[in-house]
Chains A and B, each alone.
Chain A
Amino acid sequence: MDDGAEECVPTPSRELTQNPLKKIWMPCKKNGLPEKHIFQRKVCMTNCPTLIVTVGLPARGKTYISKKLTRYLNWIDVPTKEFNVGQYRRECVKIYKSFEFFRPDNEEGLKIRKQCASAALNDVRQYLTEEDGQVAVFDATNTTRERRETIKRFAEQNGFKVFFVESVCEDPDVIAENIVQVKLGSPDYIHCNTEQAVEDFMKRIKCYENSYEPLDEVLDRELSFIKIIDVGRRYLVNRVQDHIQSRIVYYLMNIHITPRSIYLCRHGESDLNVKGRIGGDSGLSDRGKEFACCLAQFIHSQDIPDLKVWTSQMKRTIQTAEALGVPYEQWKALNEIDAGVCEELMYEEIQLRYPLEFALRDQDKYRYRYPKGESYEDLVQRLEPVIMELERQENVLVICHQAVMRCLLAYFLDKTAEELPYLKCPLHTVLKLTPVAYGCKVESIFLKIDAVNTHRERPENVDVTRMTEEALLTVPAHQ
């Protein structure tokens, strides 16, 4: 080997160019244009698509888990879609008559159900191979080993990894509550009264019980799976293969179904808000201080047991929380999006000094990163631990900022990356989120203290050649 004295002639490494939207450095080809394939560290790197397969008797929370998991994965930018076999069955058999359809000796029924599963798997294949999907959640009972074998073979043929999520529960109260929450409102029972529906559904569950083969520690030791027992009291985790399965396990182990409410709001109106300036670390205006007091009254009137209060580390959210007179926790992760060189500027000034940047932002507000600042995409990654802890907690009030609140709201309401940056989160308005059925109920409570509007809609003309007036068309009024 060399003694090190020899000159190391640098191999001509590729020239780097900075992508103007995301401010990512990438090697460019000789003509100055960027190379196509650049590995951006997305949070979940997996080399092949993953098929998540639910397992369990009816009313064990499989669809609840499927939808929630899908929502979470999409939020952290892993394209995910759920395929609910029951939906396929409803499209095939237009009208549901009774539990008899599910009797194990109903050959006609079995044929249809098998066809539906195949149709769903076909769509899974299409989604994962042709539509750039990364994770597909196959939501069905999958209670027999035979059915699971079929799915495993299908996955192997197509080069998909398989991860089973089984939910096991024998607590009659949990099952009853489940039926009340999501079965009574199902299309299957639209013409039934409550008692009829419950009775029929219980018989439906019975149809599966005899042939149910739960995942077994020994028989299924080569499979990758998580068995969730009694809604999270206990978990059995087997052979986690990669990063995304590890993240899925962590997520599933942190969620719960205890009823609770999450309150989201922004800090009170700040001095910079009034001047139409973005970012910064200013204090509350007089109206902002009034809001803080109203918030305190509102919170006290809600009589929320064991409420946790979280703020960012910026003065305006902390000032707001101080008025509540209860302990609060500061999270740096809840700080407002960093606008880099545009911090404390007005939109008019941004247009004047950085018209190109301003246009790029309007073109793709989610991915656009301020020079020396952040993007919404960065924000989501930064907020992931906050979401994880929100899932663990019960009643929480989060006092944050406009961009941050949009990200959190998008998670709870399953909004896309396109919608997220334009969600309306006005000052002095509290959003009360209550999980219900498969989603989230939102109540918007305006605390009747006026404030400036800080919401800027996407203007029609987002071209870099646009005129100043066109760029500033949607800027809200300010001092």
Chain B
Amino acid sequence: MDHLQSALTQNPLEKIWVPWMSSKLRRRRGSSVPQFTNSPTMIVMVGLPARGKTYISKKLTRYLNWIGVPTKVYNVGQYRREAVRAYSNFEFFRPDNEEAMKIRKACALSALKDVSAYFTQDHGQVAVFDATNTTQERREIILSFAKDNGYKVFFVESVCDDPEIIAENIKQVKLSSPDYVGCDKEEAVADFLKRIECYKVSYVPLDEDRDRNLSYIKIFNVGSRYLVNRVQDHIQSRIVYYLMNIHVTPRTIYLCRHGESDLNLLGRIGGDSGLSPRGNKFAAALGKYIRGQCIPDLKIWTSHMRRTIQTAEGVGVAYEQWKALNEIDAGVCEEMTYEEIQEHYPEEFALRDQDKYRYRYPKGESYEDLVHRLEPVIMELERQENVLVVCHQAVMRCLLAYFLDKSADELPYLKCPLHTVLKLTPVAYGCKVDPVFLNIEAVNTHRDRPVCEDAQAGSAPSSRHNRIQPMASPAPNKAPSLPELGLNDLSLQNVSVDRDPMDALLTVPEHI
């Protein structure tokens, strides 16, 4: 009986129980949700130009990466631009332009080769093949390629005949394309419309009957109708759900933290305290700011914690409470100062600095857990239009990372200071961020990754710079990544378990 009872040991970083002796049966169990993918999946876009293929590709990739599925976009247009340095005009895309056809096919094949490398060498799980793929012949090539390599294929076709949508599309993303740099606007539009005509002649949409054995979703007119065929597995089901929830209606998302809280002032993490006097002032200022913005049909969301609710109360409009927006659970470290954590749990403190994204507090959560908890919030944010989310530091970092496509390494160090509203407006393929500091002073709660005092030039100054000043001005929206700080070498970072306590506390912000 005993040989079956392999002893379990708890991985110190993620607090995951694993068999002590690594068995063949062991698969990656590090995250809070099982990884439901076996074979890699190719998502293949289909559609005429200006139908939103690249928009969908980039957005979908951003979403999948955020929920932990390694995904990459392969835009064949990019390959073409690298092959043909200067774009002259639409004639390149004429179906009778044999020279160009050869180049375009070569680009597609080159992209497919890179897809293969991504799956086999880079451990990618999903590759989005962004091109028109408007002929059956081209799709057959892709299907054979996938079959030979054991990849699943899911087609995403965007069909649109609304001239207004197409015109808006051209304005948003084509006029600024490298292809039309230095072109007069009217010329660019005229050329692009002729480009579309080149494809129309040979366009064969996915067909209900002929393509009945393929897995695909057909999106009509930016989402008023969908045709979904043969969803094969979990990830395709999630992709379909996501695509059916996104929209392109212009809107704005406001993210901010609760006002400064009593525990913030004391430098203590977590807990469920109320607002400090300055926090209350912020709540009033927030109300004033929001009213000033004159936002139609604004929804306000808070967590279940007192400080966000108190803040929303200051706005004076109805709000909805989401438990999923609660701050990260610091488990045994709840309500401690960083100094106390260093004193009582120095190993934990060091582990957290080693991998802040995956580190799980004992009896608490990790940033990775947070992301999974927040997924329904993101899904609903996609469905909604104008929303103000009043939340917490770690939560806001996760949401921001989704909108700004930040990696797991960057996410836990994004700067989300108190009393600063981030106004996010979707534009072109991404998101415009306007930080708005509401001019009420507050403590700084941002703790950077500690660095060795005698590290290479360029890194130490950064750490000292980041250390103290209370945030009186809007933060840049990109926290310096480790390579930027020249910190690829772990020895330059002071994250070892045996480090000096004073070094551990080097980057702790000031507090009472």
Contacts and interface: CB of A to CB of B under 8 A. Distances in A.
B8 A283 contact: yes
Nearest to B208: A234
Contact of B1 (A4, A293, A332): A293
B313 A237 contact: no
B383 A313 contact: no
A468 interface: no
A41 B321 contact: yes
- Among B5, B19, B440, the most chain A Cβ lie within 10 Å of the Cβ of B5
Interface stretch (B81-89, B223-231, B260-268, B487-495): B223-231
A24 B304 contact: yes
A250 B237 CA distance: 8
A246 B245 contact: yes
B6 interface: yes
Given A8-B284, A8-B288, A10-B284, A322 B313 contact: no
Contacts of B376: 43
A313 B25 contact: no
A130 B180 CA distance: 61
B240 A253 contact: yes
12 contacts: A13-B284, A16-B309, A25-B306, A234-B230, A235-B229, A236-B226, A292-B4, A318-B17, A323-B4, A325-B4, A332-B372, A392-B237
Nearest to A284: B5
A97 interface: no
Interface residues of B, number: 69
B306 A10 contact: no
B227 A235 contact: yes
A338 to B, nearest CB: 9
Nearest to B229: A234
Nearest to B5: A289
A238 B171 CA distance: 28
B226 A237 contact: yes
Determine the interface band of chain A, counting residues with CB < 8 A from chain B: 35 or more
B319 interface: yes
A239 B247 CA distance: 12
A8 B244 contact: no
B32 A332 contact: yes
Interface string B1-43: 1001110101000011101000001110100111010000000
A223 to B, nearest CB: 11
Main secondary structure of the interface of B (DSSP, over half): mixed
B313 A13 contact: yes
A288 to B, nearest CB: 10
A11 B5 contact: no
Contacts of B288: 8
A238 B33 contact: no
Contacts of A36: none
Interface string A277-321: 000010100000110110010000000000000100111001100
B10 to A, nearest CB: 8
Interface of B: 1, 4-6, 8, 10, 15-17, 19, 25-27, 29, 32-34, 36, 208, 212, 224-231, 234, 237, 240-241, 244-245, 274, 280-285, 287-288, 292, 301, 304-306, 309-310, 313-314, 316, 318-324, 363, 369, 372, 376, 380, 383, 438-440
Contacts of A343: 363
A240 B240 CA distance: 14
Given A296-B4, A318-B17, A41 B244 contact: no
Nearest to B9: A315
Contacts of B363: 281, 343
A407 to B, nearest CB: 16
A249 B244 CA distance: 10
B16 A330 contact: yes
Contacts of A1: 292
A333 interface: yes
Contacts of A330: 16-17, 29, 34
A246 B323 contact: no
A392 B33 contact: no
Contact of B228 (A237, A240, A292, A315): A237
Contacts of B19: 322
B237 A11 contact: no
Interface of A: 1, 4-5, 7-11, 13-14, 16, 18, 23-27, 38-41, 43, 45, 217, 221, 233-240, 243, 246, 249-250, 253-254, 281, 283, 289-290, 292-293, 296, 310, 313-315, 318-319, 322-323, 325-327, 329-333, 343, 378, 381, 385, 389, 392
Nearest to B280: A10
B417 to A, nearest CB: 16
A249 B237 CA distance: 11
B225 A217 contact: yes
A50 to B, nearest CB: 16
A39 B280 contact: no
Contacts of B440: 8
A268 to B, nearest CB: 11
Contacts of B301: 41
Nearest to A330: B29
- Among B29, B245, B316, the most chain A Cβ lie within 10 Å of the Cβ of B29
B228 A39 contact: no
A313 B360 CA distance: 12
Q: Closest 6 A-B residue pairs measured CB to CB?
A: A332-B32, A4-B439, A329-B34, A13-B313, A10-B284, A41-B322
- Among A239, A314, A326, the most chain B Cβ lie within 10 Å of the Cβ of A239
Contacts of A331: 32-34
Contact of A25 (B284, B305, B316, B380): B305
A237 B244 contact: yes
Contacts of A254: 237
Nearest to B240: A253
A25 B322 CA distance: 12
Nearest to A293: B1
Nearest to B274: A16
Given A8-B284, A27-B313, 7 more contacts: A13-B316, A235-B226, A237-B227, A238-B225, A313-B32, A331-B32, A332-B32
Nearest to A308: B34
B284 A292 contact: no
B223 to A, nearest CB: 8
A234 B227 contact: yes
A237 B225 contact: yes
A403 B212 CA distance: 44
A10 B228 CA distance: 52
B320 A315 contact: no
A277 to B, nearest CB: 15
B62 to A, nearest CB: 20
Nearest to B18: A318
B229 to A, nearest CB: 5
A39 B8 contact: no
A237 B217 CA distance: 10
A101 B101 CA distance: 65
A238 B229 CA distance: 15
Given A8-B440, A333-B33, A289 B320 contact: no
